[in-house]
Amino acid sequence: MTELKVLHESIVQPEEIDALGHMNVRYYMTRVDQANRSMLAGMGIQEESGKVIRRLDTYTRFHREQFVDAKLHTLGGLIAVEGSDVSREVNGYFEIRNPDNNQVAASFILRSCLIDVASQQVLDISVHSDNSNTYSNEPGAVVPEHGMPRSLSLNSPAKIRLEALEAIVGDDPTPGMMSGRHQNVVHADDCDPNGRLREEVDLMFVLHRPTLDDESEPAGPPIMRDAQGRRYSWAMIETRSLVWHRPMVGETILSIGADIAHGEKWRQSRRWMFAEKTGLLLGVSDSVGLCIDLDARRSIPMPLDVVEAIKRSSLPQFA
């Protein structure tokens, strides 16, 4: 079994803290992205002219929140290299740990590949790495129990056409998550020299990019109050993002989302992201949010109005 190696070291910065008072999801992904690229570079897989690394599938499980000045180590190891002689994908397992207490902050299962920029096709990485066959034949990293999905599935989610989804999802989002309809335009500074959205820019960031009016506000989910006056919101405990296509500059990205499952204290939401003009499905994002009392820093049952809204608009057939 391959041991996990420290691939990135960092310290949580004040600007990485969101409205919930802890490091935002986006900055976990920044760290694991760098660690993944470091692992791939060790295999001889690097970006070069006309070729870019893409994360096709990213599963994340959050374990412990992290705060300003926390030291973080990102560790990773190869699970396997899979695919045909024409195209190959690299599966890796990663953890972000706080070395001061050796606790796991978050764990990740990634599926990455090398993409030809012109054709957008997955490449055979073996032609770019003398070590790729060696890596694929060695015993890989084993995902520990705490890194395995708890609520989400790693199966392929159902693909659905834009017009079919618009017919069954209403315009009214349920409070506090990212259900309903959202859209935004891909900016030039989000894109590579070819005018395509850069691989490291998440589709969700484009959709929820801060405006001039709120860019001074901390990132993260909105803070609300329940009938008892408690400040509450949703903390992400699991997410999964699949990307099939990257949009071009000037394109409008449309997200249509709905809750697909829920319990007393949690809700699972799914967002389908499309190129609005063509209806091309760009990707699917799942998230499981835990309802928390922000002052007591503990989970609480979801407010009744939220539960009623979820029941009215949920799509359990997609769970």
Number of domains within the chain: 2
What is the DSSP secondary-structure string of 235-296? Answer: EEEEEEEEES--PBTTPEEEEEEEEEEE-SSEEEEEEEEEETTT--EEEEEEEEEEEEETTT
Same domain, 189 and 315: yes
Strands 231-243, 224-225: pairing is antiparallel
Assess whether 10 and 138 both reside in one domain: yes
Alpha carbon 122 to chain centroid, angstroms:
21
Statement to judge: residues 101 and 202 lie in one domain: no
pLDDT tens, position by position, 215-246: 555 666 788 899 999 999 999 999 999 999 99
Domain end marker among 129, 148, 167: 148
DSSP code, position 48: B
23 lies in which domain range? 1-148
Instruction: Answer with the one of 127, 148, 169 that is the final residue of a domain.
Output: 148
Is there a single domain that holds both residue 299 and residue 209?
yes
Residues 99-103: contacts with CB within 8 Å, 24+ apart?
99/71, 99/72, 99/73, 100/70, 100/71, 103/63, 103/64
295 and 234 fall within a common domain:
yes
State the average pLDDT over residues 181-208.
91
Identify the band that residue 209 occupies on the pLDDT scale cut at 50, 70 and 90.
Answer: confident
Q: Are residues 125 and 164 in the same domain?
A: no
The Cα–Cα gap between 52 and 133 comes to 20
Using the 3D structure, point to which of 113, 148, 183 is the last residue of a domain.
Answer: 148
Are 282 and 187 members of one domain?
yes
Q: Are residues 144 and 242 in the same domain?
A: no
Whether 91 and 222 share a structural domain: no
Q: What is the pTM of this model?
A: 0.89
Query: Of 79-83, 171-175, 201-205, where does mean pLDDT reach its minimum?
Result: 171-175
Residues 144 and 157 in one domain: no
Q: Is the pLDDT of residue 132 over 50?
A: no
